[in-house]
Amino acid sequence: MSSKPYRKLGTDNSPKSCCSCCKKIPLCCKITMVVLTVVVLAGLGLFVGFAASNPLHASCRDVSSMTCSNVKTKLKNQIALWNGPDNCKNGGEKCLYKFVSESTNTLKAIHETPSKHYKDDLTFTFSDAGMNCKTEGYSTSETWYAVLDYGTNYCNLHNLITGSGLSNITGYAESTSNSQCTQYSSADCMKY
């Protein structure tokens, strides 16, 4: 029976560490790991700060009040008017709207951006409130990874509402914010 004597770590006859995972890590690798950790934590902090005041996905919601049948007809007519690429020629995005479907209380459409061809789904819901109609518009990017959109989803709704003349009707009121519409406060609807 042969027995090997236990060796004391750190002596000349033993390995310098107890396992391969404990080998010394070069200083440059340690610095790189620390820098990467700081960058990741800073990025996470910025994302959490952004998420607290903005939706986590590029989207927008808009609410207004007036007659449901009138609102629905005007929006549908404006979508048909801006269906083709004609208004894209001047660099704007008041074009490439496409009617998808409608029911008694909803109207669905798609807006495609002319340069990158991103698609946003638009849904308007209508509910009677006495002589008026509560209209809620919602636009959201079909691109799953979209977080920031330069206010495009807000402009999808805003452009249809202003183009159809609904914003000029007595009783029109818009209620929105950065928490409902991604980058609403910095949106440039003449461009988007």
Expressed as residue numbers, the domain containing 40 is: 23-52
Q: How far is CA 15 from the centre of its chain?
A: 55
pLDDT for residue 74: 92
Same domain, 143 and 100: yes
Confirm whether 143 is domain-assigned: yes
Q: Can you tell me the distance from the alpha carbon of 176 to that of 184, in angstroms, rounded to the nearest whole number?
A: 8
Residue 56: what pLDDT?
47
Phi, psi of 112 (to 5 degrees): -110, 130
Q: Is position 192 within any domain? A: no
Whether residue 78 lies inside any domain: the answer is yes
Residue 15 domain flag = no
Residues ≥6 apart with Cβ < 8 Å to 171? 65, 66, 132
Q: How many CB atoms lie within 10 A of CB 6?
A: 7
127, exposed or middle or buried, with CB in 10 Å at 0-12, 13-18, 19+?
exposed
Q: Is 137 helix (H, G, I), strand (E, B) or coil?
A: strand
**9 within some domain:** no
Residue 108 in domain: yes
126-149: pLDDT as tens digits: 888 777 788 888 888 888 776 666
Same domain, 34 and 63: no
At 91, the amino acid letter reads G
CA 181 to chain centre: 8
Rounded to the nearest 5 percent, the helix, strand and coil shares of the chain are: 35, 20, 45
Our CA dihedral for 65, 68, 73, 74, rounded to 10 degrees, sits at -10
The answer, as to whether pTM is greater than 0.85, is no
- Which parts of the chain register pLDDT below 50? 14-15, 17, 19, 22, 46, 48-59, 61-62
One domain, residues 84 and 117: yes
Q: DSSP class of residue 88?
A: G
Q: How far is CA 142 from CA 57, 95, 121, in A?
A: 10, 18, 7
Establish if 93 belongs to a structural domain: yes
Beta bridge partners of 59: 140
In the chain, count of helices (H) and strands (E)? 3, 5
pLDDT for the residue 41: 59
